Amino acid sequence: MMGRYDRQMRFEPFGESGQRALREANIFVLGAGALGSASAEMLVRAGVGRLTIVDRDVLEWTNLHRQQLYTESDVERQLPKAAAAHERLTAINRDVTIEHHVVDITSENILSLVEGHTAVLDATDNLETRLLANDACLQLGIPFFMGACVGSYGMTFPIGLREEEPCLHCLLETLPPEAATCDTVGVISPIVVTVAAWQTAQLLRYLAGETWQPTLQSTNLWTDEHASIRVTSLKKESCPSCSNEPVYPFLRAVHETEASVLCGRETVQLRLPLQRAIDLQTFASIFERAGSTPVVNQHLVSGHWNDYRIVFFKDGRILVHGTNDPKKARSLVASMTG
């Protein structure tokens, strides 16, 4: 089946040896939203050997304009993004071994999820998870291809390729503040594809064995501003994440397990106590008795309750859409679960 990669192998800097390295690689895609869709599709088409994709969310209509792996039917079926991605990616290239997890990445699970992968591709939508991944990758010695975008602006920087380069933690003060999210100021799809293209190209270069001095790339597709900046001087000797005596502070942070507000999303995430696994059919009947028509699939049940959309996942997570108030979210769920 190597014939399908002929045009890629003809590209000399990549060649047959790059193709073999890609075939042997096991890539972790952190997030199955816009960036994750685009880069996972490129990697699977290019012939990556194995790919793991992880995401905590369910597909919504507002995702379709930029999350290129998904269809209207996926939204109607209320599929978790990671599961829908798995289905679509397998249809694109059946030779790739794909694994997906519908979970929230936390300090408790990230090391075991990421361990054993060749590289991590950043496709998350928030700084908290990015910093967690930065620490996890540094501790495990795995390169982390950072990428982020909002509006018409995006940036990338590969972390962990060269010891003298800074990590994400070193760069924190230099990066633009993360007050803006896709849900508050919006995003256009060309910047997603641009950032994903940079990240994927960097990953292919790395796998092909190339060494180079990475730069912090940033661009604004609406204003034609572009920068490619050497950031070696921003490496902090005392960085708690990448110095000689690292403590990986974000891996030690205690995860807020009870309730967390998903930034800019009008959504609160809750967890049932661990001993209570969620029986999806039970919740489907509760929705039905309240006059709502829930969508149930093998991963979750989603329905309306007092004008709020509530999604129960098998693993005990609950998303309450339409509020930023954890108290309100808790009382809504309590009114359902008793």
Dist CA 99 CA 82 (whole Å): 9
Q: Which one from 149, 170, 182, 242 is the annotated catalytic residue?
A: 182
Query: Which residues in the 76-135 window bind Zn ion by CB under 5 A?
Result: none
| 170/196 with CB nearer Zn ion | 170
Query: CA-to-CA distance for 332 and 330, rounded, in angstroms?
Result: 5
Listed in sequence order, the residues at least 6 apart from 19 whose beta carbon sits closer than 8 Å to its beta carbon are 2, 5, 8, 9, 47
Residue with tokens 């490129």: 42
Residue list 223-252, contact with Zn ion (CB under 5 A): 239, 241-242
- Nearer to Zn ion by Cβ, of 71 and 174: the residue is 174
Choice from 170, 187, 251, 262 touching Zn ion (CB under 5 A): 170
Q: Which lies closer to Zn ion via its Cβ, residue 49 or residue 240?
A: 240
Contact by Cβ (8 Å): 51, 43 = yes
Which residue number is nearest to Zn ion in terms of Cβ? 239
Minimal distance in Å, beta carbon 336 to Zn ion? 44
Report in angstroms the alpha-carbon separations of 162 from 29, 74, 167, 295. 21, 41, 10, 48
Smallest separation (angstroms) from Zn ion to the CB of 245: 12
Pick between residue 137 and residue 196 the one whose CB is nearest to Zn ion: 137
Please identify which residue in the block is written with the tokens 């008795």.
289
Stretch that binds Zn ion, among 161-169, 244-252, 253-261, 280-288 (CB under 5 A): 161-169
For residue 318, list its beta bridge partners. 270, 312
Sheet holding 144-150, edge to edge: 97-102, 50-55, 26-30, 119-122, 144-150, 153-159, 216-220, 225-229
Shortest Å distance, C-beta 194 to Zn ion: 26
**Min CB(207)–Zn ion separation in Å:** 24
Annotated active-site residue 167? The verdict is: no
In the complex, which residues of this chain contact Zn ion (CB under 5 A)?
Answer: 167, 169-170, 239, 241-242
Q: Which amino acids are annotated catalytic?
A: 182
